[in-house]
């Protein structure tokens, strides 16, 4: 397939690296033409600073890896030009934008995949298969924590600017946790959490978006997700625990600075007490980006709805927006300035 990448930052480089032997990168686009050309030169592609002129007939699919503000207009332009799209999470600034992308993708009969690449991390993928096989029985609840320690000057980056990000940790790492919870709970495209509660706060960073978000989400059949996303973790952390009536699965790390990716299975015995424990470690480089692209291409070939898709992004965004609204009311009632 022939691709264009729009947004040539860190994620754009990861996306380019995930392309396979039968793929070709045709255009690299960034408002900073130097970034576009730097990436383009590595793949013998063209560099450009304006995305509106690159939707040529030879382009099959577009990868949109910009800041949150630009995700919607670029993806919409690509869809209207009948290009398949990989759009980074959270897929827009708000749920209204995502609904418009859903409508446009259906009207133009294109496949749109959302960059919830955590689903295809090896440990998470194996855990999902274990759940589907009944290894831990009926699910009860999920506990997820995801955080990083920040970096000097982070308060000046685009993610700290609500005009470019739309929010803080809620629209960053928390969307992964919400998506994974919906995925493990096997929620359908038209299903959402029936009870949503949460709080946001900015404890440390001098910025107008939250550096921590706490979520409690409950499904119609009373399964619950307890989630916390933070950029005051100080040491990068990923932890996802899935609890069933017959055992538990614990995913730790994502590789790199998040530590070795590991899955631990705790099998409850009939006698209760100490469970049987089995662990797997995944020491290879992060292959989630490659796995995600392969899945995207299969979906295009078979003309079936991508997974994860814009419906998944909409439900994740809807959760975050409701928590923002809840927290705004809380602050008003407590007399805290917003």
Residue 337 belongs to a domain: no
Is the separation of the CB atoms in 75 and 99 below 8 Å? no
237-244: strand order across its sheet: 195-201, 212-218, 224-230, 139-147, 237-244, 247-252, 261-267, 276-282
Mean pLDDT computed over 61-82: 98
Instruction: Kindly state whether residues 85 and 166 are assigned to the same domain.
Output: no
Asked, for residue 168, whether it belongs to a domain, the answer is yes
126 with 106, same domain: the answer is no
CATH number, residue 135: 3.30.360.10
Same domain (yes/no): 7, 76: yes
**Average pLDDT in the chain:** 96
Predicted confidence band of residue 337 (pLDDT cuts 50, 70, 90): low
- Selected residue with higher pLDDT from 332 and 248: 248
**Domain membership flag for residue 312:** no
Rounded-to-10 torsion of CA 226, 227, 233, 236: 110
d(CA 113, CA 299): 9
Q: Please tell me the predicted confidence (pLDDT) of residue 309.
A: 97
Same domain, 245 and 132: yes
Q: Is the peptide bond before 90 cis (omega within 30 degrees of 0)?
A: yes
Question: Bridge partners of 142?
Answer: 225, 242
What pLDDT digit, counting tens, does each position of 97-137 carry? 999 999 999 999 999 999 999 999 999 999 999 999 999 99
**pLDDT exceeds cutoff 70 at 332:** yes
- Pairwise CA distance, residues 279 & 293, whole Å: 28
Whether residue 87 is found in the same domain as residue 172: no
Query: What whole-number percentage of the chain has pLDDT above 70?
Result: 99
User: Domain range for residue 107?
Assistant: 2-117+290-307
Q: Is the domain of 265 the same as that of 301?
A: no
Give percent of the chain above pLDDT 90. Answer: 94
Instruction: Tell me 307's DSSP state.
Output: S
Mean pLDDT of 66-72: 98
Q: Between residues 72 and 334, which one has the greater pLDDT?
A: 72
Indicate whether 64 and 195 sit together in one domain: no
pLDDT for 155-176, tens place per residue? 999 999 999 999 999 999 999 9
Count structural domains, the chain. 2
């Amino acid at each position: 397939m022939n691709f264009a990448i729009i947004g040539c930052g860190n994620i754009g480089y990861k996306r380019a690296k995930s392309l396979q032997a039968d793929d070709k990168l045709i255009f690299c686009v960034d408002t900073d033409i130097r970034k576009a050309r730097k990436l383009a030169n590595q793949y013998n592609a063209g560099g450009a600073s304006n995305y509106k002129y690159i939707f040529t007939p030879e382009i099959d699919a577009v990868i949109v890896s910009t800041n949150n503000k630009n995700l919607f207009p670029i993806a919409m332009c690509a869809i209207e030009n009948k290009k398949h799209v990989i759009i980074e999470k959270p897929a827009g600034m708000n749920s209204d934008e995502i609904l418009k992308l859903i409508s446009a993708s259906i009207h133009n009969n294109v496949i749109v995949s959302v960059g919830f690449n955590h689903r295809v991390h090896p440990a998470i993928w194996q855990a999902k298969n274990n759940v589907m096989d009944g290894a831990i029985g009926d699910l009860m609840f999920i506990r997820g924590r995801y955080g990083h320690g920040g970096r000097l000057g982070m308060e000046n980056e685009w993610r700290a600017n609500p005009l470019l990000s739309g929010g803080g940790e809620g629209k960053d790492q928390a969307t992964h946790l919400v998506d994974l919870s919906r995925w493990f709970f096997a929620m359908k495209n038209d299903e959402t959490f029936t009870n949503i509660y949460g709080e946001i706060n900015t404890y440390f960073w001098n910025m107008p978006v939250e550096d921590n978000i706490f979520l409690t989400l409950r499904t119609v059949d009373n399964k619950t997700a307890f989630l916390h996303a933070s950029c005051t973790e100080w040491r990068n952390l990923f932890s996802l625990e899935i609890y069933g009536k017959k055992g538990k699965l614990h995913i730790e790390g994502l590789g790199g600075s998040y530590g070795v990716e590991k899955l631990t299975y705790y099998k409850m015995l009939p006698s209760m007490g100490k469970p049987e424990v089995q662990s797997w470690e995944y020491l290879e480089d992060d292959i989630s980006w490659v796995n995600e692209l392969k899945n995207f291409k299969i979906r295009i070939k078979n003309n079936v709805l991508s997974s994860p898709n814009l419906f998944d992004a909409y439900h994740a965004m809807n959760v975050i927006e409701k928590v923002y609204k809840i927290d705004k009311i809380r602050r008003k009632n407590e007399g805290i300035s917003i």
